[in-house]
Amino acid sequence: MAGELESLELCLERYIPPQDLAEVKRILYGGETRKLSLPVAALSSAQERDFELQGYGFDAAPEQLRRPRIVRVGLVQNKIPLPTDTAVAVQVAALHRRIEEIVEVAAMCGVNIICFQEAWTMPFAFCTREKLPWTEFAESAEDGLTTKFCQELAKKYDMVVVSPILERDEIHGGTLWNTAVVISNSGAILGKSRKNHIPRVGDFNESTYYMEGNMGHPVFQTQFGTIAVNICFGRHHPLNWLMYSLNGAEIIFNPSATIGTLSESLWPIEARNAAIANHCFTCPINRVGTEYYKNAFTSGDGGKAHHDLGHFYGSSYVAAPDGSRTPGLSRTRDGLLVVEMDLNLCRQVSDKWNFKMTGRFEMYADKLAEAVQPCFTPNIIRE
Amino acid sequence: MAGELESLELCLERYIPPQDLAEVKRILYGGETRKLSLPVAALSSAQERDFELQGYGFDAAPEQLRRPRIVRVGLVQNKIPLPTDTAVAVQVAALHRRIEEIVEVAAMCGVNIICFQEAWTMPFAFCTREKLPWTEFAESAEDGLTTKFCQELAKKYDMVVVSPILERDEIHGGTLWNTAVVISNSGAILGKSRKNHIPRVGDFNESTYYMEGNMGHPVFQTQFGTIAVNICFGRHHPLNWLMYSLNGAEIIFNPSATIGTLSESLWPIEARNAAIANHCFTCPINRVGTEYYKNAFTSGDGGKAHHDLGHFYGSSYVAAPDGSRTPGLSRTRDGLLVVEMDLNLCRQVSDKWNFKMTGRFEMYADKLAEAVQPCFTPNIIRE
């Protein structure tokens, strides 16, 4: 992508001398994250297949009664490989192939749980407000082609797969949802989780297509750890993260699709804040590149009709409960981020900072219940 | 402070060339914040009095029906001027004098609302767990010497003063509280706000001295804007920020005392996340320097007894509802940060992002009420 900075972290590393860089990283990121040594074959496969491969690790202190609970997660960010006016089935097949070659490398890196980007089987076409052909990308979460494809991957690589798709819910009137399907490493469908908060901002006209999720905040106990999926716009809602955490999630994925001019200064803040506030790992994922549409559309900003909604800036990363984080993947390239984490860190940080113990949730349950009443009187003190 | 980096922002500016620096600042801070032109007399007074003076401004779009609502806030960070074993009354008097000379400069800069750091009239002695002499720093919020001193300042300079102190509550058994007194620019006491969340982490043994605040989330409608005070550890609790915002706060101050090894990688994240999530301005303030105690104490980390709790790293800043922020004040020097803001930006950003409209607070009120029940069953899905 001409003119786009490839990565904030590479830029800092290029210019800042080592002694100051260490201090800058400590203040910005909570220190230098341990680099993972990844297999040479995986690194060369990634290079051949033209995607970035990075690996980092988070450690925890040894305990007497619990063994380390080491898990490797994989975050995948990618461009759409074909133009948006290619036939729907052809686009989907091309995305399946692209993901297949990335997942193969993830398996070589020992990834246990992998998550793809939001609505990964399609262009993020909700900017157009057109229904056809975009709604044709919707699939059944239970027996759609993409779910079957992910079940095969899960079995083949003994890997939990989180597959965020546009869901067609046939047994409820054929409605659409923005849904993540969670597939066990056995290949069985563990369940699904729906996007709880739907944007009405800029080109993100998603409420034209689907409503707020009606499944609450399920968490999924996998062989490798307890996970949840907070889809895209839910990233902006601290209570959404909190409820996944109160249900027991130790890793919360945040598959997203968001562009530079809208949200890039929020991106490093919100998921990381959620990891801190909830003593868990968070994994925000964003797609990459610019997607062009044949029919022009406006953006609700008074500007002229145009054919794209801007640059999806990638920058997927993992934040740890201790406030540290990995560098982000590229702003411009497809990528796989492999992160090893000892899940024991969650409880260790919780016992240190005690945000749940000191959270006074009972008071807030009462206060929120008051605040939503039509007759609510804010607590304003006047002279 | 030998060995301490003076400021993250100065370090970035020193090394990164201009074209990349602009992009780094956009990604890290949401862009370059407008610099305020401050009076020469104020700048030279600050230099004479040995404190940093910085000024920035946040703008909003013009509206048809509302005039711009411009306010200037002042954030004060400072070291304790005298050793901690000086007589209590002498330490307090020295702090009054130091603040007086900073507030005078704030007045020259047109500051309308000023906020001092947490427990500003004393060393942050709660690491010691000793009661005397530290509890002698406690004062009545209503008619203590410090409140009277602040009332004089408020009247003299036509300035709202937020004065966080250790409060002695005589009418309730002489209990202590960590309290901010809010004084109108008329000199009248508008009210007070108590620290809602009390830390039990590292050297922050504050629950030895005072309990969780019992005043809820009051906001204060001043002539210049509607403000609230989220004291220190409440910064880590997204629900605390939310309730101040639901009560109508457009500016939330966060007077704090926190040290580098504990929280510095959290500092740029939490208050900024709160500004984003709640469509308001947030103003985190941290004291500066290292405070030494005659009697050694331990830190609950298995280490040897020692005489200080580490370096308070200053770095006070203001975050705006659009996700942008000012650079931080110095990590090592006393300072005054003057920030001009058009409060119309709050509603403009709220109308753009709609986090309150899309917040589903009714659902969360119910879910939180369930989650705090002893019989709560988390929503965990197993294979």
Output the CA–CA distances (angstroms, integers) from residue B188 to B103, B138, B158, B160, B165, in the order listed.
Answer: 18, 21, 11, 10, 17
Task: Summarize pLDDT for B289-303 with one digit per residue, the tens.
Answer: 999 999 999 999 999
Residues of chain A with pLDDT below 50 are 1-2
CB-neighbour burial class of residue A155 (10 A; exposed 0-12, middle 13-18, buried 19+): middle
Has residue B262 got a pLDDT over 80? Answer: yes
Torsion on CA atoms B12, B13, B19, B21, rounded to nearest 10: 40
Length of chain B: 383
pLDDT for A1: 43
> Which helix (DSSP H) or strand (DSSP E) does residue B283 occupy?
strand B281-286
Between CA A159 and CA A182 the distance in angstroms is 11
Q: What is the mean pLDDT of chain B?
A: 96
Output the CA–CA distances (angstroms, integers) from residue B180 to A353, B87, B254, B278, in the order listed.
Answer: 23, 24, 10, 21
Phi, psi at B12, each rounded to 5°: -60, -40
Task: Summarize pLDDT for B119-178 with one digit per residue, the tens.
Answer: 999 999 999 999 999 999 999 999 999 999 999 999 999 999 999 999 999 999 999 999
Residues in chain B closer than 8 A to A245 (CB atoms)? none
Residues in chain A closer than 8 A to B328 (CB atoms)? none
Say whether A109 is catalytic.
no
Between CA A208 and CA A210 the distance in angstroms is 6
Q: Write the residue in B28, B188, B197 that is nearest to A383 by C-beta.
A: B188
Residues in chain B closer than 8 A to A12 (CB atoms)? 12, 16, 24
Q: What is the DSSP letter of B185?
A: T
Interface of B with A in 323-342 (CB under 8 A): 323-324
CB distance A124 to A312 below 8 Å: yes
* Mean pLDDT computed over B328-343: 97
Has residue B1 got a pLDDT over 80? Answer: no
Instruction: Please report, for chain B, the start and end positions of each structural domain, with discontinuous segments joined by +.
Output: 35-371
Asked if B196 lies within 8 A of A360 by C-beta distance, the reply is: yes
Residues in chain A closer than 8 A to B8 (CB atoms)? 24, 27-28
Between CA B242 and CA B230 the distance in angstroms is 10
Task: Summarize pLDDT for B12-30 with one digit per residue, the tens.
Answer: 999 999 989 999 998 888 8
Q: How close is the nearest chain A Cα to the Cα of B250, in Å?
A: 12
Residues in chain A closer than 8 A to B358 (CB atoms)? 197-200, 212, 233, 237
CATH value of A35-298+305-371 in 3.90.1150.10, 2.40.440.10, 1.10.3720.10, 3.60.110.10:
3.60.110.10
Asked if A20 lies within 8 A of B12 by C-beta distance, the reply is: no
- Identify from A186, A278, A367 which residue to disrupt to test chain B contact, counting B C-beta atoms within 10 A and taking the largest count: A367
CB distance A317 to A330 below 8 Å: no
Q: How close is the nearest chain B Cα to the Cα of A366, in Å?
A: 7
pLDDT for B9: 87
pLDDT for B377: 96
Asked if B220 lies within 8 A of A380 by C-beta distance, the reply is: yes
Hey, is the C-beta of A244 within 8 angstroms of any chain B C-beta?
A: no
Catalytic one of A25, A52, A115, A118: A118
- Identify from A372, A373, A376 which residue to disrupt to test chain B contact, counting B C-beta atoms within 10 A and taking the largest count: A372
Asked if B247 lies within 8 A of A379 by C-beta distance, the reply is: yes
Closest CA to B24 of A334, A320, A38, A7: A7
Q: What pairs with residue A56 in β-bridges?
A: A35, A339
Has residue B2 got a pLDDT over 70? Answer: no
The three-point CA angle A368-A372-A374 to 5° equals: 150
Cβ count within 10 A of residue B66:
13
CATH homologous superfamily, domain B35-371: Carbon-nitrogen hydrolase (3.60.110.10)
CB distance B194 to B164 below 8 Å: no
Task: Summarize pLDDT for B35-89 with one digit per residue, the tens.
Answer: 999 999 999 999 999 999 999 999 999 999 999 999 999 999 999 999 999 999 9
Q: Which residue on chain B is closest to A227 by alpha carbon?
A: B380
Q: How close is the nearest chain B Cα to the Cα of A296, in Å?
A: 22
Q: Which residue on chain A is closest to B378 by alpha carbon?
A: A247
CB distance B140 to B164 below 8 Å: no
Label residue B310 left, alpha or beta by phi (over 0 means left) and psi (-120 to 50 means alpha): left
Q: How close is the nearest chain A Cα to the Cα of B81, in Å?
A: 27
Asked if A360 lies within 8 A of B26 by C-beta distance, the reply is: no
